[in-house]
Structure 1
Amino acid sequence: MKKNEDLLVINDLKKHFKINKKDTLKAVDGISFTIKKGETLGLVGESGCGKSTVGRTISQIYEPTSGEILFEHEDVHGKFSKAEVKQKKRDIQMIFQDPYSSLNPRLTVMEIISEGLVIHTPDASVKEREQQVNELLELVGLNKSHSGRYPHEFSGGQRQRIGIARALAVNPQFIVADEPIAALDVSIQAQIVNLLKTLQEEKELTYLFIAHDLSMVKYISDRIAVMYLGRIVELTDSENLYENPMHPYSEALLSAIPLPDPKMERSRVQILLKGDVPSPIDIPSGCRFHTRCPRAMDICSKLDPAFVERQPGHFVACHLHDEEVMAAEKNEWGSVSV
C-alpha cells in the first residue's frame, strides 16, 4: 500500500456495554474517520469520552457492537482463517497508557518483548529472538544489558520504551498509542513523543495517538479528531484546529492550554464549561454537548447536529455552522448570538 492511501477506515463504529437489564453504556456511539498510511491522527477529549474504547476496538481487544473497521480494505472483525486473524493482529499493535501495569512484573524484559516473536515467528531460534530483542532495546534508547531485568527495576519512561519495543517486535503497520505519555513526568513526555516520531519515519508506521494534552497532540499529529461523549464533534488538520476551531467544545479545550508568554496568558479569556460530562448511560437529547455549551440555542436540545464537512477537510457537528438552522433561529428570535 502506498503512502497517503487509506490504511484504516472506520464506518459508523459503535461500542456499547450492557450494564444491567435496563441500562447500556454507549462508550462509542457512531463515529467515522479514516487514517492514511504514514499519517498520525490525534484523538483528543476529556476522560470518559470513549477515546480508549475506540483504540481497544480497533486493536481487536473489544468486539464492536456495530459498524466497520476496515484495515487495508478488509474488516478486522470479519470471518477469517486462523492464519489471517494472526496476521491482522500482527499488523495492528497497541502501546498502553500506564507503563506500570501494562508489563508483566513476573517476566524479564527479554521475555516481555519476545512474547510476540514466539507467537508470530515460531520457526526462529532462541538466539535469533534474543538478537532481535537486543536490537529493539537499542532502537528505543535502552541498553541490551537491560534484557535480563524485571519491570520494577526501571523508571516510568524506561518502562514505556519497553512497551514501545514490545509493540514494534512483530513489525506492525499501525500502532494505537493510548495516552502513552499521560503517566510520565513532563520532562520525559517530550522524549517519548520524539522517539515515536523518529520510529514512524524509520519504520513507515501509522499512528492513532490518543491523548488529552492538546499541546503535545499538535506536535505529533497530522490531523486531530475531537471527541465528546462517544462522538467525534470536529476533525481537521492540526494547524487548522488550533487556528480556526469551529466547535465550542474544541474552543474550550484549546483555551485551557497554558501559554508560554506570561502577558498573553494573563490577558486571554479561558472558556470555563459549566457542569460535568453527562453519563454515557443517560446521554442528553439533541446535541450531546448542549448541556455545557456556552453558545447553545433552543434547537440544540432538540436536534442532533450532523457531522458535516463545512470547509475543505474540516468536519464539524454543530448547528452554529448550519446556515439553514441559523436562518430559522434568526427568523424566530430576530437575532442570534454566535
Structure 2
Amino acid sequence: MDNTKEKLLEIKELKRHFKVDRKNVLKAVDGITFDIFKGETFGLVGESGCGKSTAGRTILRLYEATAGKVEFQGKNVHSKKSKKELKNFNRKMQMIFQDPYASLNPRMTVKDIIAEGIDIHGIIKDKKERTNRVNELLETVGLNSEHGNRYPHEFSGGQRQRIGIARALAVDPEFIVADEPISALDVSIQAQVVNLLKRLQKERNLTYLFIAHDLSMVKHISDRIGVMYLGNMVEVAPSDELYEDPLHPYTRALLSAIPVANPEVERSRERIIIEGDVPSPVNPPSGCRFRTRCPLAMDVCAKAVPEFKEYKNGHWVACHLYDKDHQN
C-alpha cells in the first residue's frame, strides 16, 4: 500500500469465523487486508461487534486464522512453528487488554504480574536484577517501586492500565495491539494513557495497532486509520485525510456523531443518522454489508461486493460510489 516505508505487518484477506452450531457460522472477521508500517500507530475503529477486537487477537495468534495470512517481518504468523519459534514470536508481539482489572491476576503482586513475561522468556535470571527491571518499568509508566508489592485491587482503573502497559513492555516487544485500552477509563484519565503510549512509542520505537470505537480519541494517536463494518474493512486512510475527506458513507456517519466544542459549528454541522440495527454476522446482507443501513445505497450494492481498492494515494475504500462502472 506504501512502498516507501518498511512494512512490519501485512494482513492479507484475513478471516476468523466461529462455528455457532451445525449449520451456522459467525463471520467475525471476513477477509480484511491492510499493512502496518514500522514505528506507526494504525487505528482500527468501528461499532461494537464489527470484528475489530477479533482481528487484533487473530493477528497475534490468540485466535487461529480461518483463512488468509498475517506476515510479521515477512514471516507467516499462522504457519506451524516450533515451541522456540513461537516463544520468540510471542516476545516480539504483545497486547494491552481492554479491561485493566480482568486482565490482571488478582492473586499476584504487581511485581510478579509485570515480571511474568521476563520469567517465561528467561530474560533475567538474577533476582536483584529482576526487581530493578520491574521498578524501572513501574517508573516508566508513571508508578513507583513501592507499588510492586501491592495487588491489582488496590489500584484505580488508570493505574491498573499502566500496570498492563508495563507488563507488555517487560519483554521489549516491537509491536503492541492495544485493544480498546482507554474505553473503561474516565475521560480525564484517557488522555493521560494516550500520552503515555505516545511517549513510549517515541522512546522505544514501538508500533501499535490501536483498537477503539471512539473516533475522536483515535485521531490523537493514529498515523493511519482503518474503519471496519461487520467483519469487513470499508476504508483506510492517513488520519488527517480520513477526518477531512471521509469517502465511505459509514465513515461519514461515524465522524458526524463526534461532538464539536464550538456550539456554532455544532449547530451548522450535518448529522448523519444510521438507521436500523447492525445485521447479524451469522447472516450478513448480500453485496455490500452496509447497504441495509446506507442512505446512498444503489441497486448494485445488493448484487456485488464492492472491491477494496485505492481511490487516491494511500486512501483505500470499498464502496460502489467510487466504481466508474456503477456511478449514477
Shorter-chain TM band:
over 0.9
1:82 aligns with 2:79: no
1:175 aligns with 2:176: yes
1:24 aligns with 2:14: no
C-alpha separation between the residues in 2 aligned to 1:109 and 1:127? Answer: 16
Whether the 8 Å CA contact 2:249–2:294 is kept in 1: the answer is yes
Match of 1:156 in 2: 157
The superposition leaves residues 209-265 of structure 1 with CA deviations (integer Å, 9 ceiling, x where unpaired) of: 000111111110000000000010000100100010000000000000000101111
C-alpha separation between the residues in 2 aligned to 1:126 and 1:50? Answer: 42
Q: In the alignment, residue 235 of structure 1 is paired with which amino acid?
A: V
1:217 aligns with 2:221: no
Identity of counterpart residues, as a percentage? Answer: 66
Gap regions ≥5 residues in structure 1: 331-338
C-alpha separation between the residues in 1 aligned to 2:323 and 2:71? Answer: 30
Match of 1:130 in 2: 131
Whether the 8 Å CA contact 1:9–1:35 is kept in 2: the answer is yes
How far 1:122 moved relative to its partner?
A: 5.5
How far 1:302 moved relative to its partner?
A: 1.2
Whether the 8 Å CA contact 1:4–1:38 is kept in 2: the answer is no
C-alpha separation between the residues in 1 aligned to 2:155 and 2:110? Answer: 10
Bigger mean CA offset, 317-326 vs 73-82:
73-82
Q: Normalised by the size of structure 1, how large is the TM-score?
A: 0.95
Match of 1:73 in 2: 74
How far 1:80 moved relative to its partner?
A: 2.2
Match of 2:289 in 1: 288
How far 1:156 moved relative to its partner?
A: 0.3
Q: In the alignment, residue 162 of structure 2 is paired with which amino acid?
A: R
C-alpha separation between the residues in 1 aligned to 2:120 and 2:300? Answer: 54
Match of 1:103 in 2: 104
Whether the 8 Å CA contact 1:6–1:35 is kept in 2: the answer is yes
Whether the 8 Å CA contact 1:44–1:211 is kept in 2: the answer is yes
SS of equivalent residue, structure 1 residue 280: coil
C-alpha separation between the residues in 2 aligned to 1:187 and 1:4? Answer: 35
C-alpha separation between the residues in 2 aligned to 1:130 and 1:66? Answer: 43
How far 1:4 moved relative to its partner?
A: 3.0
1:229 aligns with 2:230: yes
Whether the 8 Å CA contact 2:118–2:124 is kept in 1: the answer is no
1:51 aligns with 2:55: no
Whether the 8 Å CA contact 2:16–2:28 is kept in 1: the answer is yes
Match of 2:306 in 1: 305
The superposition leaves residues 112-154 of structure 1 with CA deviations (integer Å, 9 ceiling, x where unpaired) of: 0010000112651122111111000000000110000000000
Q: Normalised by the size of structure 2, how large is the TM-score?
A: 0.98
C-alpha separation between the residues in 2 aligned to 1:273 and 1:15? Answer: 26
How far 1:81 moved relative to its partner?
A: 2.2
Q: In the alignment, residue 137 of structure 1 is paired with which amino acid?
A: L
Whether the 8 Å CA contact 1:40–1:207 is kept in 2: the answer is yes
Whether the 8 Å CA contact 1:91–1:171 is kept in 2: the answer is yes
Gap regions ≥5 residues in structure 2: none
Whether the 8 Å CA contact 1:215–1:257 is kept in 2: the answer is yes
C-alpha separation between the residues in 1 aligned to 2:36 and 2:117? Answer: 25
SS of equivalent residue, structure 2 residue 279: coil
Q: In the alignment, residue 22 of structure 1 is paired with which amino acid?
A: K
Q: CA RMSD in A?
A: 1.0
